[in-house]
Structures are given as structure tokens and as C-alpha cells.
Amino acid sequence: MNKRLIFITNDDGYQARGLAALIEMMRPYGDIVAVAPKDAQSGMSGALTVKTPVRLRKIKEEPGLSIYACSGTPADCVKLAMNHVFTRKPDLLVSGINHGANTAISVIYSGTLAAAAEGTLYEIPSIGFSLDDHSPAADFTACVLYGRMIIDRALQAPFDKNTFLNVNFPDLPCNEIKGFKLCRQNRGAWVDEFEKRTDPHGFDYYWMTGVFQNHEEEAEDADENVINAGYVAIVPHHLDMTNYRELERLKEIWRFEE
Amino acid sequence: MNKRLIFITNDDGYQARGLAALIEMMRPYGDIVAVAPKDAQSGMSGALTVKTPVRLRKIKEEPGLSIYACSGTPADCVKLAMNHVFTRKPDLLVSGINHGANTAISVIYSGTLAAAAEGTLYEIPSIGFSLDDHSPAADFTACVLYGRMIIDRALQAPFDKNTFLNVNFPDLPCNEIKGFKLCRQNRGAWVDEFEKRTDPHGFDYYWMTGVFQNHEEEAEDADENVINAGYVAIVPHHLDMTNYRELERLKEIWRFEE
């Protein structure tokens, strides 16, 4: 039997500590091929590079581990690797470990999760991992340990093929993490999102900034609250954005088909 | 009573014909402020500009119509405008009209829809419009006419505040469009997504390409099929990506909380 083939990617770039931590987490499970962005690509969502070509460079090759750097976005990394790196379908795709949480509405901006979404489109079981610490020097020790427990579950009892998992770790040492919670995406939004400045020539410019506003601080089953309570949050995501309840309601009240 | 305030944006840039068509569609409904990308931003999904500052320039101001160009992504345009252009909340946000359909899985890459999603986060009723014709010279005549019928419905019988609409027009003249269908997102995926070339110096590079593979060609209630059948497709979208059915199933089989 072939060894398991593991596809690793991220949005912080191939040199990020979070990628090294994910490689460490996954080494016991099989052979690893990492295809990650050349530079950090935070907040790139599912963006694709359509106006310029993309380059791919092999950074490292050793038994059981290859690392490639790609000049494109996280979604580009997955598509390019599936078309021009892998000769057989990987058994698992893991993305991250992101420096910073991807809970609540942040999921729509996340390159980490966009890469996991791409994996699902290629029918690979895919998981995005994030740690609630933005620092480049973040400590991923607990993530490696707790992440393996999730991988073990996923291998024993696979999740649905149209689903990928969004896993967020609280920023806590191993012995302070209270356990795991399967939960849903928290409601909330970002506010005060651009700071205005004036350049030395007198022209205005704006820096992205923002504060997350939690719209349901009491909900125990929502991911942002789950990590704040000291648990690892696991949300099953899918790619069908249809609001079925509203679809049925609008059919009733708009009556286009009469 | 104040006149209605309409926020217009897109991902093809402020000079696109599709933006002019959307302005034409919306002029009877109120005062228009358009804040659109300086350059085309196709395939940018919900990407945010975090590593560089963003600039904003007023292009036009006349009674009932202002147009601004923003150096950022479609999502940046909405956030920046809401923080630094509008002094009161717009009554409606419309995005597009995109040159090219945004049906099926294309919704996850679409800047047009990412802008509509942002509008929803600011609690503005938001609609993304797209025409199934990629050409810069596309004819939007039918879109203006049929689009107004959708705006009329939305004003008479508002859709849910956590929902935005994804509207796709078939590439047909007015008299060949068969009507409207409220429907769901089609299943499918893109394949053969990068073409490999070699530069004059002997190095490989890759161009994004791809072919859409429809995974349910017979489904009459799915958006890609709906436009192919000659109808205007309207899908209500929401921003909660949680797969609730799989959440319940995994709670049963993974039993983390015992």
C-alpha cells in the first residue's frame, strides 16, 4: 500500500512558522508536499491570479517532504499544484497553521480557508487550521498536539465530501486548553475599517484596520466564543451559499412564475 | 422625505460598460454614488488590501451622480466608502453589471458578489448583477430592463437582511428572455486550470485558464442551468458557511464532549 500523500499549504507564505508547525503535525501521517505562497497573502480570500502568469519554485526536497513556493495566492497554489505538481490525488489537504484566528465573518477574507475550499473542489478531505495569535513568533506547540487528535478523528470517521473543516485554536498552552467543540460560525462584523492619513505631498491615503464586533457574545455554540472560552473550535463549512429558507420565502412573496 | 441613496460598485473598474449600464438602470430610483475599482479586479473574491494603503479619487460629480475610483479591491471599495464617503447609510447597494456570469462555484471567486456581501455586513439590501458575456463590449440593454423589475420587487417586498441576491442575466436580447427564476447555486467545479509555458530564458510559467464542469446538468432549479435555459437567475445568498447537517452528524460520530 502507498503511504498517505499529504498536501500542505497556507496563506502566510512558505517561510512562516505556522507552516513548519503544520509539517511537524502531519509528518507521522504520510509523505508531505507543501505548495505555499512565496510571500504572505493574508486577507486574499479566494482571489485568483488572472492578469499575470504564476511561477513555481522547488525550495526543498528530502525523503517524505517537498516544499514549493508559488508566486500566486493560496487558491492559485492549490489549483497549480493539482494541475502541475501532484501525479496522484492527495489523501488529505491541510492549510495553515494561520497566524491569527479565522472565526466568524473573517472566514470570507481568509486565504487559509480558501485553500481548504479548493481542496474540497478537488474532492480531497480538507482542513484549515488557525491559531488565535497574529505574532510571527506565535507558539504552535499546543496546535500540533490537539491538531493530531482532529486528524485522527477525521481518518477514523471521515467528514462529508462536500465539507471542509475550519479549526481555530485558542492562544493557550496545552494544559489550559479545555477540549474540542464542534460548533457554527459566529455572527459579527468588522467596524472602523479604514484609517485616513495624509502623505507628505498633501494627498490622502487609507490604511485597512478595523475592530471585530461580536453580534452574539452569549452564544456558546459559535466559534469566536468557543475559542474565547478556551476550547478548540471546529466548524464544518460548505460551499453552497444559497439561503434555502429565504429562497422558499421569496418564491412565495415574489411569485415570478405565475 | 430624502431621495433614496444608491451605492453602486463593481469589479471590472469604474470605466467598465457594465458600471455605466448599472447607473442607467438605477437612476430612476434615487441619487447615485459609485465607488468602484480604478482598474479591473476580476477574480479577486473578498480580498482586502492590507499590506499597502488605498487611494480614493473623485472622477465625476453632477446632480444625482458621483463617481469615485478606488485603488483597492471591490471589498475595499465598500469598506472605504462606508467609512469615508457616505455620511448616511445607503438605501441599496448594487454591484456589477459584471462582464461574465457569476453562477455556480464562480461565486467564491467573484469580486462583484464579494462587494454585495460587504453591503449585507453593513445592513444594506445588496444585489450583485452579472451578464453571461465576458466581452468588454457586451450589450446590457436587456439587463437594464429586467434588472429594474427585480429592483421593483425588492422595494415592494424586501428580502431578508442577512441575505444578498445574486442575479445572472442570460446573453439574450430582451424579447428572447423567458422570465425570472428564483433558484439555487449550481454544483460544479473548474478543471484544467493552469496552462504551462516556457519563457525566452527557459523558465516555466503558468497562466490561469480552466473549463467549468457542470455537476448537475439536469437540475432545473440551479442557476447555471437556469440562464442556459433563457431565464434570469436569482439566488438568495447568505454569509453563514456552516454546514449544519454535517455539524449535527459529526457531533454524533465524533463525540468530543463525552
For A45, which residue in chain B has the nearest alpha carbon? Answer: B47
The answer to whether A182 contacts chain B (CB < 8 Å) is yes
Q: Given an 8 Å threshold on Cβ–Cβ distance, is B244 in contact with A122?
A: no
Among A106, A105, A122, residue whose Cα is nearest residue A9: A122
Q: Compute the 3-state secondary structure of chain A and give helix, strand, coil in percent, each to the nearest 5.
A: 30, 30, 40
- Which parts of chain B register pLDDT below 50? none
Backbone angles phi, psi at A13, to 5 degrees: 100, 155
Q: ∠ CA B210-B127-B147 to the nearest 5 degrees?
A: 95
Kindly determine whether residue B162 and residue A243, on different chains, have CB atoms separated by under 8 Å: yes
Q: Which B residues in the span 133-172 are in contact with A, Cβ-Cβ below 8 Å?
A: 153, 157, 159-160, 162-163
Q: Which residue of B has its CA nearest to A81?
A: B194
The candidate with the shortest Cα–Cα distance to A113, out of A126, A100, A124, is: A126
Cα gap A150→A179, rounded to integer Å: 11
Q: A256 falls in which pLDDT band (50, 70, 90)?
A: confident
Gap from A111 CA to chain B (nearest CA, Å) = 9
A241 reaches B (C-beta below 8 A): yes
Query: Nearest residue of B to residue A192 by CA position?
Result: B83
Cell numbers linked to B22: 448599472
Query: Is some CB atom of chain B closer than 8 A to the CB atom of A60?
Result: no
Q: Amino acid identity, residue A146?
A: Y
pLDDT tens for A72-129 read: 999 999 999 999 999 999 999 999 999 999 999 999 999 999 999 999 999 999 999 9
Interface contacts (A, B; CB < 8 Å): 227
pLDDT, residue A245, reads 96
Residue contact A249–B160, C-beta within 8 A: yes
Give per-residue pLDDT as tens, A35-67: 999 999 989 999 999 999 999 999 999 999 999
- Report CA Rg, chain A: 19
- Per CB-CB distance under 8 Å, the chain B contacts of A48 are 43, 45, 109, 208
- Percent above pLDDT 70 for chain B: 98
Say whether A45 and B75 touch across the interface (CB within 8 A): yes
Count of alpha carbons within 13 Å of A46, Cβ hemisphere only? 23
The residues, ordered by sequence, that sit 6+ positions from A20 with a Cβ below 8 Å of its Cβ are none
Is the backbone peptide bond immediately before A6 cis, with ω within 30 degrees of 0?
A: no
Q: Which residues of B touch A246 (CB under 8 A)?
A: 159-160, 163, 236, 238
Scan for cell 480552466, then name that residue: B210
Separation of alpha carbons B51 and B161, rounded Å:
32
pLDDT at A191: 87
* Cross-chain residue pair A185–B47, CB shorter than 8 Å: no
B chain contacts of residue A76, beta-carbon cutoff 8 Å = 208
Q: Give the integer Cα–Cα distance in Å for B41 and B13.
A: 7
Q: What is the pLDDT of residue B191?
A: 87
Given A47, A208, A250, which is nearest B44 (Cβ)? A47
**What is the distance between the alpha carbons of residues A12 and A43, in angstroms, rounded to a whole number?**
10
> What is the model's pLDDT at position A167?
98
Over residues A227-236, the pLDDT tens digits come to 999 999 999 9
Q: How far apart are the first and last CA of chain A?
A: 59
Cα three-residue angle B32-A255-B187, rounded to 5 degrees: 80
Asked if B49 lies within 8 A of A208 by C-beta distance, the reply is yes
Phi-psi region of A43 (alpha: psi -120 to 50; beta: other; left: phi over 0): left
**Interface contact flag, B55 A189, Cβ < 8 Å:** no
| pLDDT tens sequence across A172-220 | 999 999 999 999 999 999 988 899 999 999 999 999 999 999 999 999 9
Phi, psi of B32 (to 5 degrees): -115, 130
pLDDT tier at A255, thresholds 50, 70, 90: confident
Predicted local confidence at residue B1, as pLDDT: 53
Yes or no: say if B185 and A240 are a contact pair by the CB < 8 Å rule: yes
Q: Is A123 exposed, middle or buried (0-12, 13-18, 19+ CB in 10 A)?
A: exposed
Q: Which of residues 77-116 of A touch B (CB under 8 A)?
A: 79-80, 82-84, 105, 107-109, 114
Q: Residue B127 is inside which H or E element, if any?
A: strand B126-131
Contact flag A239-B159 (C-beta cutoff 8 Å)? no
Q: Which of A108, A207, A254 sits opposite B53 (nearest CB)?
A: A207
ipTM above threshold 0.90 = yes
Contact A243 B249 (CB under 8 A): no
Instruction: Give the nearest chain A residue to B107 (CA atoms).
Output: A241
A183: nearest CA in chain B?
B247
Contact B163 A50 (CB under 8 A): no
